[in-house]
């Protein structure tokens, strides 16, 4: 029974123009004898899509290669998740095209969810392995650093909003959790219009917390790689990972040089009662992350005096954002003031 429980799992991988990484990821699933199915949403050009799909056919693992051209990552993820649901996969999990899951950990997490219907998600211990100095993924390559990927914490509050607040205080990307497919899709369904990838991630993770309880179990189950291999976009160090997080927030709260406008689609969500709590929590996560970035010496030296931040006042409770105003010109708005400000610009 245990050996077949991973057959209920759909692994969802959005990708673009990264054949070599996909080959290595699928090889790992084949090597571990994964019994589920890998759904790959490829946003490459038509020409590259044909090349990649042809090259991947020799892999022994069960996978489906799906064209998602012109889709942003969230839209591609939603598309392949719906296909997984149509094929009756009970559980789903997302990861990047250079990551992979460990079969033993997968099975333990699925076993937990099978007997705990009040939990929508379960996650184990994840690791980031830095392969910056290596030239391939062969066994002789030695990682230059190994990091725990996230806090080892469960989100088990009875009230959904309390779980979301707990996630905001102890943030991690919950899409990497093994999740009931229906709950996974519900977390994605309202977010395809958002243009900020970082905002999408926060929104989706918080919706998972609102949907059901999330359990951490002490089982190794996820390996994430950071590297500069194969011309990929993966990051090369933990420090660069943090710096990149700042860049990922640009569309939402940061104006640098000429104004990079907040998207009206995001601001409009604030006015909808069902999303107001979630949006405010997202903004709290962002302000906390910005604080960490600004106090990181290697980052603050680069951005000092160059940024203007426009932060909704409601997002600032319990934050220390005012304490690092020396790094940037900060102006505080309430939601209506922010909306009026945006109306001056063409979005």
State whether 208 and 292 are in the same domain.
no
Contact between 38 and 84 under an 8 Å Cβ cutoff? The reply is no
CA distances from 145 to 102, 137, 225, 309 (A): 19, 15, 10, 34
Q: How many residues does the chain have?
A: 347
State whether 205 and 262 are in the same domain.
no
Q: Is residue 235 part of a domain?
A: no
For residue 129, the domain's CATH number is 3.90.550.10
Q: Is residue 174 part of a domain?
A: yes
CA distances from 266 to 165, 231, 251 (A): 20, 32, 10
* pLDDT tens sequence across 87-117: 999 999 999 888 889 899 999 999 999 999 9
pLDDT, position 111 = 97
Q: Which of 179, 196, 226 is the last residue of a domain?
A: 226
pTM of the full predicted structure? Answer: 0.66
State whether 26 and 81 are in the same domain.
yes
State whether 253 and 313 are in the same domain.
yes
Split into its structural domains, the chain has a count of 2
Q: Is residue 242 part of a domain?
A: no
State whether 61 and 99 are in the same domain.
yes
* pLDDT tens sequence across 152-207: 889 999 987 778 778 777 778 888 999 999 999 988 854 455 445 666 777 788 78
Domain span at 186:
2-226
* pLDDT tens sequence across 228-283: 443 333 322 222 222 233 233 322 333 222 222 233 333 343 344 445 555 555 55
Q: What is the largest CA-CA distance in the chain?
A: 62
* C-beta neighbour count of 233 within 10 angstroms: 13
How much is the average pLDDT of 296-316? 41
pLDDT, position 6 = 92
- SS3 category, 338: helix
Q: Is residue 320 part of a domain?
A: yes
State whether 221 and 252 are in the same domain.
no
């Amino acid at each position: 029974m245990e050996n077949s429980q991973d057959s209920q799992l759909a692994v969802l991988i959005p990708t673009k123009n990264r054949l070599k990484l996909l080959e290595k990821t699928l090889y790992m699933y084949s090597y571990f004898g994964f019994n589920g199915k890998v759904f790959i949403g490829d946003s490459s050009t038509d020409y590259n899509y044909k090349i990649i799909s042809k090259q991947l056919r020799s892999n022994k693992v069960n996978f489906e290669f799906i064209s998602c051209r012109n889709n942003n990552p969230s839209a591609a993820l939603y598309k392949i998740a719906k296909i997984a649901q149509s094929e009756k996969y009970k559980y789903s999990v997302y990861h990047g095209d250079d990551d992979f899951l460990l079969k033993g950990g997968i099975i333990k997490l699925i076993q937990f969810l099978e007997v705990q219907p009040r939990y929508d998600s379960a996650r184990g211990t994840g690791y980031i392995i830095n392969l910056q100095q290596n030239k391939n993924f062969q066994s002789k390559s030695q990682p230059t650093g190994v990091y725990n990927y996230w806090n080892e914490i469960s989100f088990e509050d009875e009230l959904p909003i309390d779980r979301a607040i707990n996630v905001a205080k102890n943030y991690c990307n919950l899409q990497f959790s093994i999740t009931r497919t229906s709950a996974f899709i519900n977390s994605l369904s309202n977010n395809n219009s958002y243009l900020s990838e970082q905002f999408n991630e926060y929104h989706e993770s918080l919706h998972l917390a609102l949907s059901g309880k999330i359990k951490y179990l002490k089982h190794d189950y996820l390996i994430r790689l950071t590297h500069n291999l194969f011309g990929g976009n993966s990051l090369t160090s933990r420090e660069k990972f943090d710096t990149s997080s700042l860049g990922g927030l640009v569309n939402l709260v940061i104006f640098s040089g000429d104004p990079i406008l907040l998207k009206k689609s995001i601001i409009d969500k604030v006015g909808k009662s069902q999303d107001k709590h979630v949006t405010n929590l997202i903004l709290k996560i962002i302000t906390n992350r910005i604080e960490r970035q600004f106090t990181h010496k290697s980052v603050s030296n680069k951005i000092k005096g160059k940024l203007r931040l426009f932060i909704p006042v409601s997002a600032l409770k319990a934050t220390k954002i005012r304490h690092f105003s020396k790094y940037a010109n900060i102006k505080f708005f309430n939601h209506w003031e922010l909306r009026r400000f945006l109306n001056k610009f063409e979005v």
